[in-house]
């Protein structure tokens, strides 16, 4: 029997899809408007085109996607409910957003989560991991690029979204068993607002996580619609295939390297085996994109190193191990080559900047 007290399910070691690009749907502009968030100001803050939501096909990479969400949080009026809860209040079953539609057509929450896990990459740089026991259904959200820190508002909204769709589909005010994310609300009013919404306080967890009781996860959806689902599913499958097919060679190499890091299998030969191409073909395709295998590996290691230095207390030796270096000195020499500085200096500078910002 699995442990029902575990907050997050065990994830496959280092499994990540390629970064890719992700759809932004016009319906988000209306949802923001209804929640009292000025969409035009959001786009200005994020330095994105003013007609972004009006374009027929809009796709953003992970970094820009995160900038958009950070801008949504910054633009929200203070003194009201947290942004994720305000957005949830305005969600309805007639708001056509593919992620919500995919879920609402299902028979129950377990079925909805299975579909969301399959098609999640169509709507954002993340993956959904679901673990079921006789008593619980546990859902954890994994962001696909560990080198980028997702905005806390995005992590909170994705968990709120799951609970809100369950309530919409069942027409019942279900409460969850447990809920958490890496940076739970700090202020008492915000923490109380989330606790009132979920029915339990938000905990600190390694990944955004929500736990439903088995009874709630299997409660029938009143919105189930097999006819509509059979009509739209082929198009969703095609879009998922297109997402993989349109990935650049550098993106595919970066994804394979992320998967290989825990085992330290970072040679070009090992990555070629994973991708099913010869080393000559891989080199040629990367060269056509203005890159190389070593540049891709160095760029990934540099981004991850900065992430670990700024967002963890890991030692230099631990970071070196995570990045696949044989010893800490090799990591330090490589880091100096990438940045002209040392890992210690970069961490000290970040901590000093963060301290100054907190004092301000």
**Which strand ranges, in their side-by-side order, compose the sheet holding 136-143?**
126-132, 136-143, 209-213, 178-181, 203-204
Nearest of 250, 256, 222, 199 to residue 93 by alpha carbon: 222
Residue 17 has pLDDT above 60, yes or no: no
* Neighbouring residues of 46: CB distance < 8 A, sequence distance ≥ 6: 64, 67, 68, 70, 71
Q: Given this model, what pLDDT does residue 294 score?
A: 94
- Give the burial class of 49: count Cβ atoms within 10 A of its Cβ; 0-12 exposed, 13-18 middle, 19 or more buried: exposed
Please report the pLDDT score of residue 57 as a whole number: 63
The Cα 176–Cα 174 span in angstroms is: 7
Q: How far apart are the C-alpha atoms of 47 and 64, rounded to whole Å? A: 9
pLDDT of residue 61: 81
Extended strands (E) in the chain: 21-23, 59-61, 126-132, 136-143, 178-181, 203-204, 209-213
Separation between Cα atoms, residue 196 and residue 34, nearest integer Å: 22
Structure confidence at residue 128 as a pLDDT band (50, 70, 90):
confident
Helix residue ranges per DSSP H, 107-224: 109-119, 152-170, 188-198, 214-217
pLDDT at residue 202 above 80? Answer: yes
Mean pLDDT of 111-136: 86
Instruction: Looking at mean pLDDT, say which of 125-139, 159-173, 338-352 comes out highest.
Output: 159-173
Domains for the chain: give ranges and CATH numbers.
21-243 (3.90.1520), 248-359 (1.10.10.60)
pLDDT at 19: 46
- pLDDT bracket for residue 15 (50, 70, 90): very low
Task: Return the structure tokens found at 139.
Answer: 């859902």
Residue 5 binned pLDDT confidence (cut-offs 50, 70, 90): very low
pLDDT over 70 (residue 227): yes
Tally the C-alpha atoms within 13 A of residue 217's C-alpha that lie toward its C-beta: 21
- The tally of CA atoms less than 13 A away on the side-chain side of residue 284 is 5
- What pLDDT is stored for residue 292 in this prediction? 94
Mean pLDDT of 21-35: 77
Residue 242 has pLDDT above 70, yes or no: no
Nearest to residue 84, comparing CAs of 98, 73, 92? 73
Examine the pLDDT at 219 and tell me if it is beyond 90: yes
Instruction: Report whether pLDDT(335) > 60.
Output: yes
- Beta-carbon contacts of residue 243 (< 8 Å; ≥ 6 apart): 20, 121, 122
Q: According to the model, what pLDDT value does residue 28 have?
A: 81
| Confidence at residue 283, expressed as pLDDT on a 0 to 100 scale | 93
| Torsion sign across C-alpha atoms 269, 270, 273, 277 | negative
Q: 271 and 260 in contact (C-beta within 8 Å)? A: yes
- Written as six digits, the tokens of 219 are 């409660």
pTM: 0.68
Alpha-carbon distance of 203 to 89, in angstroms, equals: 22
Mean pLDDT of the chain: 83
193-197, 230-234, 285-289, range with greatest mean pLDDT: 193-197
Report whether pLDDT(355) > 50.
yes
Give the mean pLDDT of 178-194.
93
Using DSSP's 3-state secondary structure scheme, residue 136 falls into strand
pLDDT beyond 90 at 4: no
Q: Give kind and range of the element (H or E) at residue 275.
A: helix 268-275
pLDDT at residue 246, as a whole number:
62
């Amino acid at each position: 029997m699995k442990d029902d007290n575990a907050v997050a399910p065990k994830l496959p070691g280092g499994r990540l899809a390629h970064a890719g690009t992700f759809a932004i749907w016009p319906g988000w502009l209306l949802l923001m408007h209804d929640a009292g968030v000025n969409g035009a100001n959001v786009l200005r803050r994020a330095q994105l085109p003013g007609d972004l939501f009006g374009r027929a096909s809009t796709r953003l990479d992970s970094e820009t996607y995160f900038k958009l969400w950070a801008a949504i949080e910054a633009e929200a009026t203070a003194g009201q409910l947290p942004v994720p809860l305000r957005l949830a209040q305005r969600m309805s079953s007639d708001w056509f957003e593919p992620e919500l539609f995919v879920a609402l057509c299902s028979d129950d929450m377990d079925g909805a989560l299975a579909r969301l896990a399959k098609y999640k990459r169509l709507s954002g740089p993340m993956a959904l991991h679901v673990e079921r026991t006789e008593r619980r259904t546990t859902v954890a959200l994994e962001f696909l690029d560990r080198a980028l820190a997702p905005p806390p508002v995005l992590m909170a909204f994705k968990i709120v979204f799951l609970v809100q769709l369950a309530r919409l589909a069942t027409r019942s005010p279900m409460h969850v068993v447990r809920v958490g994310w890496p940076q739970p609300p700090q202020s008492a009013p915000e923490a109380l607002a989330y606790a009132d919404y979920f029915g339990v306080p938000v905990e600190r967890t390694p990944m955004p996580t929500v736990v439903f009781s088995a009874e709630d996860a299997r409660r029938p959806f009143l919105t189930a619609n097999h006819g509509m689902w059979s009509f739209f599913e082929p198009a969703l499958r095609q879009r998922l295939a297109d997402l993989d097919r349109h990935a650049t060679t550098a993106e595919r190499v970066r994804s394979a390297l992320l998967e290989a890091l825990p085992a330290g299998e970072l040679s070009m030969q090992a990555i070629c085996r994973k991708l099913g191409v010869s080393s000559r073909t891989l080199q040629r395709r990367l060269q056509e994109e203005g890159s190389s295998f070593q540049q891709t590996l160095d760029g990934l290691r540099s981004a991850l190193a900065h992430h670990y230095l700024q967002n963890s207390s890991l030692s230099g030796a631990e970071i070196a191990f995570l990045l696949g270096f044989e010893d800490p000195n090799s990591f330090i020499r490589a880091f100096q080559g990438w940045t002209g500085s040392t890992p210690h200096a970069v961490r000290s500078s970040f901590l000093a900047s963060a301290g100054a910002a907190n004092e301000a």
